[in-house]
């Protein structure tokens, strides 16, 4: 019997979480010889969770209540480190709790993971549900990331990780900054499934533009050394071509490179290994639920 744990962060959005659990329950009932256990990291919610009932196809539900809100990425980082201490599972699925990571794709993730049990699987975004402006920003983010890191990062949190990769990630300080960046940096072999970004179950997206920028820079900051080297190379090339491009464009380009590199440098301080290793100190309580 295979054992899969599903890690889900939540902040106040209990309505979406319970709908997600019901949808997961429907999708996993046809997956044979596999136990599913859900681990929910409550990121210091200010709204108390309503009465909890474990869906019939989910073996256990664990809710880890945090004292302080640390943010979505750090919930996942804590959860991965917390679960790495026992590794009493075969695979770990990481997914958002609002419906944007579609439960309909869990079966594809699991089948791909079971077809090669030693390689983690990520959900590659082939279609997004957001508006045109957001999609344009996302494409710009991907291009900038590729230019300055050499990495094509076309996936988010939705993934199915092997025990070995969970153990590897649990020791990397970059995980405290960015999940997808850490996956791309530290996990050499990855399988993929095609994934469609779903719609939130309730309400609009909670991530404002400023947070989206921080999220993008956090991914890039995982590769800060590559960013700085490439920025210097680009600056030298621009300097060599300054007569062709013109003095004004030369100055603007250099300023943009300096500002971008400085922002990446600042964001890189989010990689705090001490805070990551002490993240257990933020646990207020752990509650376990069964049928």
244's CB contacts (< 8 A; 6+ apart) are none
Angstrom CA distances, 140 to 123, 134, 145, 165, 250, stand at 20, 10, 8, 29, 22
Comparing C-alpha atoms, which of 192, 189, 186, 114 is closest to residue 154?
192
Positive or negative CA dihedral for 74, 124, 108, 201? Answer: positive
pLDDT at 7: 98
CB contact set of 59 (below 8 Å; sequence gap of 6+): 35, 36, 37, 290
**Predicted pLDDT of residue 19:** 96
- Maximum Cα interatomic distance, the chain, rounded to a whole number of Å: 73
Predicted local distance difference test score (pLDDT) of residue 76:
97
Cα separation, 140 vs 16, in Å, equals: 30
Q: What is the CATH number of domain 2-130+153-203+272-289?
A: 3.90.550.10
CA atoms within 13 A on the CB side of 53: 6
Q: What's the pLDDT at 200?
A: 87
What's the confidence (pLDDT) of residue 143?
93
- The chain-wide mean pLDDT, for the chain, equals 93
* Each residue's pLDDT tens digit, 149-171: 999 999 999 999 999 999 999 99
Reading the chain (291 residues) residue by residue, the pLDDT tens digits are 999 999 999 999 999 999 999 999 999 999 999 999 999 999 999 999 888 899 999 999 999 999 999 999 999 999 999 999 998 999 999 999 999 999 999 999 999 999 999 999 999 988 766 667 777 888 888 899 999 999 999 999 999 999 999 999 999 999 999 999 999 999 999 999 999 988 889 876 656 677 778 889 999 999 999 999 999 999 999 999 988 889 899 999 999 999 999 999 999 999 999 999 999 999 999 999 998
């Amino acid at each position: 019997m295979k054992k899969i744990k599903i890690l889900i962060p939540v902040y106040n959005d209990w309505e979406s979480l319970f709908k997600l659990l019901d949808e997961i329950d429907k999708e996993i009932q046809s997956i044979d010889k596999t136990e599913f256990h859900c681990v929910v990291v409550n990121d210091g919610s200010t709204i108390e969770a309503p009465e909890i009932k474990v869906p019939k196809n989910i073996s256990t539900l664990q809710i880890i209540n945090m004292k302080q809100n640390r943010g979505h990425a750090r919930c996942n980082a804590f959860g991965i480190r917390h679960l790495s201490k026992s590794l009493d599972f075969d695979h770990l699925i990481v997914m958002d709790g609002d419906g944007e990571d579609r439960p309909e794709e869990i079966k594809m993730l699991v089948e791909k993971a079971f077809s090669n049990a030693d390689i983690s699987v990520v959900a590659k975004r082939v279609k997004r549900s957001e508006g045109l402006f957001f999609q344009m920003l996302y494409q710009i983010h991907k291009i900038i990331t590729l230019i300055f890191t050499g990495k094509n990062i076309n996936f988010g949190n939705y993934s199915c990780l092997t025990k070995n990769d969970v153990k590897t990630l649990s020791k990397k300080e970059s995980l405290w900054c960015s999940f997808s960046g850490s996956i791309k940096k530290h996990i050499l072999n990855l399988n993929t499934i095609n994934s469609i970004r779903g719609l939130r179950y309730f309400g609009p997206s909670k991530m404002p533009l400023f947070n989206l920028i921080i999220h993008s820079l956090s991914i890039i900051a995982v590769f800060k050394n590559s960013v700085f080297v490439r920025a210097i190379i680009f600056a030298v090339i621009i300097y060599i071509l300054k007569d062709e491009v013109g003095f004004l464009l030369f100055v603007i380009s250099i300023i943009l490179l300096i500002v971008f590199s400085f922002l990446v440098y600042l964001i890189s301080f989010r990689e705090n290994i001490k805070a990551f290793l002490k993240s257990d100190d933020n646990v207020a309580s752990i509650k376990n639920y069964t049928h």
